[in-house]
Chain A
Amino acid sequence: MVKRKLGALEKVEADLPNLQHKIRRDPKSYIEDFRAQHYQYESHREIFMTAPSSTTETGLISLRELIDFIAHVADCYPEITKDFPQQLMDILSQHHLILQPELREKIVGSLVLLRKKELLDSATLLQTLFPILISTPSKTLRALIFQKILMDLRQANAKTTNHKLNRTMQTVLFNLVTSDRTSSKGLWAIKLTRELWKRQIWTDAKAVEVMKEASLASNEKVIVGGVRFFLGGDKEREEMEDESSDEEAIDLGRVKHQVGINKKTRKKSRAVEKAKATVKRRERKKNQPHPLNFSALHLLHDPQGYAESLFSKHLQSTKSKLNLDQKLMVLQLVTRLVGLHKLHIMHLYSYFQKFLTPRQPSVTSFLASLAQASHDLVPPDDLEPLVQKIANEFVSEASASEVASAGLNAIREICARQPLAMNETLLQDLVMYRKSKDKGVMMAGRGLLSLFREVNPEMLKRRDRGKDASIGLKAGERKEKRFAEQEAGGIEGLELLEKWKEEERRKRRAEKGLASDASDDEEEGEEDNWASWNVEDDEDSDDSGDWINVQSDAEIDISDSEDEKDGPPAKKAKSSESSSDDKAEKKEEEKEESAEAKFSKLATTRILTPADLAKLQELRTEAAINSLVPGAKKRDRDDPLTAEEIEGLAALSAGKATREERIAHAKEGKTDRSEHKSITAKRKERKQDQGKSTTNKEKARKKNFLMTLGKAKSKNKRSLVQTRAVLKAHHDRAKRGGRRGNIG
């Protein structure tokens, strides 16, 4: 055997990892050695500080290794190493520009390690690292520090929200963004905030404020970063949440089973414990109430001022250096704010005027933004010329079908938000396009028609109004909505809750054997409700005695009260209710009228307990799932309107699709399926996937022929006695239930 070559370190046994290992096991005995190494570190630090930029490795052990060593065992000797973190921070903050990359990374890593060992608090660490993050020219260092900062913030907020730390950090970021609006350093604030927002660590208004200031900066990158956050940050957050919620499910049964089979080691038993803990934690998490997170757009303090300054700074001013894409993004944000908060910006609509021509690049985005910016409080005078212009520029027989359909769609979207922007002649003109030969245009025209059948059928020609609308007009219940008229709102899904409660009560009464309709012992039911004040009424139920019962005599007779009818006049059904339901609605009009009046009372006459609210949420989601038929999706007001929606079915009007396109289209909805296989093969595969073994039968079938040959031959040669013995043994075994028996 060749003699092993010894490295220099081995020759002299200058083996810090070895010492580290020994110190970990017995810190007290090795204190002298550690002290020596600490002096060693001090001397090396001294040498280093006299010439920080020198790259010469001093001897066997470099400062880097010593730092690593001391950081790893610092928690064993807090007294000796009390200055150590501060020294590292000093080195890093003073010399990070000239340090060797390896040493630099080691120092950062050691600082984080010290933080983990609680020898350093988060605030100090972040205050050291953050200035370096924004000032260092090294890309790798920036990446490292960013990752470490993020990790530290996540860890600090892991158990409970560390408000103090978050606040200081947010203030630092805010100052970074606001101090120098022209520099691109604000990008780091954006990156950090966005990441923490995505992970739901920061969900408060202060984080939104940072982004708001970023979007009002003068540097394009910073602006775009801020604007992007408002346009996509919440979606990102939701996606992240979905992702984390459907993490790989742990099959506890399987884990336990595996442990039963395999060799029992401490490691494996620990794995089982861990799996149990994870499952338990997930269960608990599932039962927890959903954290109520507002979207960034809702958390803005002064949306009007913000939208105005965005508009004037980036869109109106001639000095803005943004390119078209970036401007469109800003416009999207501004219009979204306008639509969401029902703001009014003076020159916004006239600003659109010059962009509304088919030759304008990405005009559909402009159209979408315009539609987004219109809401029912916009004066129709502002919108009417725009609608007129769209009609003139886009919708004509001469224009291409895509253009016409985009124009029609845009007009429909605007009118859906503000119907008063349309005048009668134009509408009747546009509705004629439903007769177009082109499919896209036809669909767009029909869309417009059906919209106005609902919101204002009077503007349509008689024959276009349709049956339901005509009947509605005749009955006088379909009235044109006046400007700024508000519908009385209610609590969404309240009627569902009412219904559910009614059913519950009926069930209870049925159990007791009483008449299901009688409504006398209301008090008892009330008691129950109060008892179940909380979602899980374990401990709180007792001290709910302080609560004063609200007299609920007004809703005593919920199911069939006659005097309710001449109460307040019935409110109109929700305007957005689809027309197909109208017929059914008419039939039960009477009934529903009274019902609605009652439902509105539920919220006014009794306090909704958290338990009620939870149930309400549940019912609402259930209803939402039930109504989730493809195509019949209702638009949420928070969702942005995209250019694709304006383009609409223009794809249909693009002439005949090629074969490939048709195949792709046909395949779109279908899930991909694997090759054909027999059922047995599939079963076998599934079994293998689950990590299960083969049956005895299968094993016997698969056994090598030559191995079975000997037994088969010997069987022939058995004597009668032997055969008898074998058969008997077999019989006995069968009775017992196999070789191992039927025990247990």
Chain B
Amino acid sequence: MGSSSKKKKEKQKDFQLKVGKAKAKPDNFTDTSFKSKSITLTQQSLTLHAPSTTHQFTHHVSLLNSKSDTQRRDSLAHLTTHLTSAPTSQPLPIPVSTLLPTLSPLILDASTTVRTQLLKLLRTLPPSDVEDHVASLMPYVRAGMTHLAADIRVTAVDVLSWLVEIAGEAVVSCAGGWIKTLNCFLSVLGWHTEESSKWSSNRAAFGKAGAKGKPMVKVLGVLAEFLEAGIGEDDDDEMEMEVDGKGGTGTGTGTGGGGFPIVQTDVHMVPKSAQPYVYLNLFGAPRDEEGEMYETREERFRVFKGRFLVPVERGLESARQDGGEVGRASSAVSKVLKEARGVDWEG
């Protein structure tokens, strides 16, 4: 009895206290109000004029480092359309030399779409500009070729194919471009050691292999291109040289332009390439054998013969035995090799 009347009284009291008051806050109430000096609206644009195309271009270049896959892909797409739509006579908003350092890490990008888009963009770049920056691009390509992920390996091989296409000579003669890249090829194809190149070898392949067979064909094709650029017959340059020589000695009229005493003027002039004395390596770290530049075909063939001929031939043999598309692709490489040998014997 007593307790119930007591409760009643308390209720009454509660009621009296509650009427006309704000609702009490619950126990676990958290104060979420805050103070701020300024309020920034992320969505609103306060500029009156649309940004210029140049500005947009630089903006999208900066977005290439974005965290999101789609953002990177879209920016690449934007850059591609910009490059293709702009007239070729007009210079790029950003020179290739500054564009490439942001583009090259994307070769190793995790997202496939980004990489394919990158390839498209690269193909639109003016080849002559790219040629001078091959040396800085090659490490990324090589890193891509030995990547754990098969897709990235394929993309890197694609990029290399494009590079060989537009600047084959630069690719094979840049620092480390010959031996290191060939090493990467052997590693991609798995031709390094005798056991690993056998078709029956119980090689535990790590990582996703990608579509079986297809990448192998592609790699073999690019290898053929690469070897062609490196040790194939230099049809244009060499012919030219020979013509020069003949002209110089014979008629005295050549590209040298001078008369009899001035023969082979070109040899004594400063070369016309962008970095003529880079082979001296005056400012870089000392290079080892692998990182050295091999500028002439003879040098490259000598190195190739000493280091790679045996594993490549062994690999080709096994590829031929595989038959099918791979076998056909391997025959292209064999052809290049054969020709290279032929040239070597001649020389």
A interface, CB within 8 angstroms of B: 8-9, 11-16, 19, 22, 26, 29-33, 35-37, 39-40, 42-44, 46-47, 49-50, 56, 58-61
Contacts and interface: CB of A to CB of B under 8 A. Distances in A.
A36 B105 contact: no
Contacts of B109: 59-60
A13 B148 contact: yes
Contacts of B334: none
Contacts of A9: 110
Pick the most buried of B65, B187, B190, B205: most chain A CB atoms within 10 A of its CB: B187
Closest 6 CB pairs of A and B: A59-B108, A12-B149, A43-B143, A14-B148, A36-B146, A39-B146
A9 B145 CA distance: 17
Nearest to A43: B143
Interface string B188-222: 10101100100000111111100000000000000
20 contacts: A8-B111, A19-B207, A26-B204, A30-B206, A31-B196, A32-B196, A33-B148, A36-B188, A39-B146, A39-B180, A42-B142, A44-B139, A47-B139, A56-B65, A56-B105, A58-B108, A59-B105, A59-B107, A60-B109, A60-B147
A160 to B, nearest CB: 38
Given A13-B148, A39-B183, A59-B105, A33 B192 contact: no
A40 B151 contact: no
A19 B146 contact: no
Nearest to A49: B285
B136 interface: yes
Interface in B252-295: 285, 291
Contacts, number: 107
Given A14-B110, A33-B205, A50-B136, 16 more contacts: A9-B110, A12-B152, A13-B208, A16-B148, A33-B207, A36-B148, A39-B146, A39-B187, A50-B139, A56-B65, A58-B105, A59-B106, A59-B107, A60-B109, A60-B149, A60-B152
Contacts of A31: 192-193, 196
Chain A, interface SS category: helix
A15 B105 contact: no
Contacts of B103: none
Given A12-B110, A59-B105, A32 B203 contact: yes
A11 B114 CA distance: 14
Nearest to B183: A39
B184 interface: yes
B42 to A, nearest CB: 25
B140 interface: yes
B176 interface: yes
Nearest to B186: A35
Interface string B87-102: 0000000000000000
Contacts of B143: 40, 43-44, 47, 58-59
Given A39-B187, A47-B140, A30 B204 contact: yes
Given A31-B193, A43-B146, A59 B110 contact: yes
Contacts of B193: 31-32
Pick the most buried of B109, B140, B147, B203: most chain A CB atoms within 10 A of its CB: B147
Given A32-B187, A43-B140, A61 B206 contact: no
A401 B42 CA distance: 78
A15 B204 CA distance: 15
Contacts of B105: 56, 58-59
B139 A36 contact: no
A452 to B, nearest CB: 79
B192 A40 contact: no
B146 A37 contact: yes
Nearest to B184: A39
A11 B110 contact: yes
Contacts of A33: 148, 205-207
B144 to A, nearest CB: 8
Nearest to B285: A49
A65 B312 CA distance: 31
Interface in B56-76: 65
A644 B183 CA distance: 76
Contact of B149 (A14, A43, A56, A58): A14
Contacts of B206: 19, 22, 30, 33
A727 B21 CA distance: 79
B115 to A, nearest CB: 10
Given A26-B204, A42-B180, A60-B108, A35 B187 contact: yes
Nearest to B109: A59
Interface in B206-247: 206-208
A44 B139 CA distance: 7
Given A58-B108, A59-B108, A43 B148 contact: no
Nearest to A58: B105
Contacts of B176: 46
Interface in B123-173: 136, 139-140, 142-143, 145-149, 151-152
Nearest to A59: B108
Contacts of A32: 187, 190, 192-193, 196, 203
Given A39-B183, A60-B110, A29 B139 contact: no
B299 to A, nearest CB: 21
A30 B202 CA distance: 11
Given A12-B208, A56-B65, A37 B148 contact: yes
A47 B107 CA distance: 13
A35 B311 CA distance: 15
Contacts of A30: 204, 206
A33 B209 CA distance: 12
A35 B148 contact: no
Given A39-B180, A46-B176, A50-B136, A61 B204 contact: no
B202 A12 contact: no
Contacts of A49: 285
Pick the most buried of A15, A59, A61: most chain B CB atoms within 10 A of its CB: A59
B194 to A, nearest CB: 12
Contacts of B208: 12-13
A50 to B, nearest CB: 7
Contacts of A26: 204
A35 B203 CA distance: 14
Contacts of A13: 148-149, 207-208
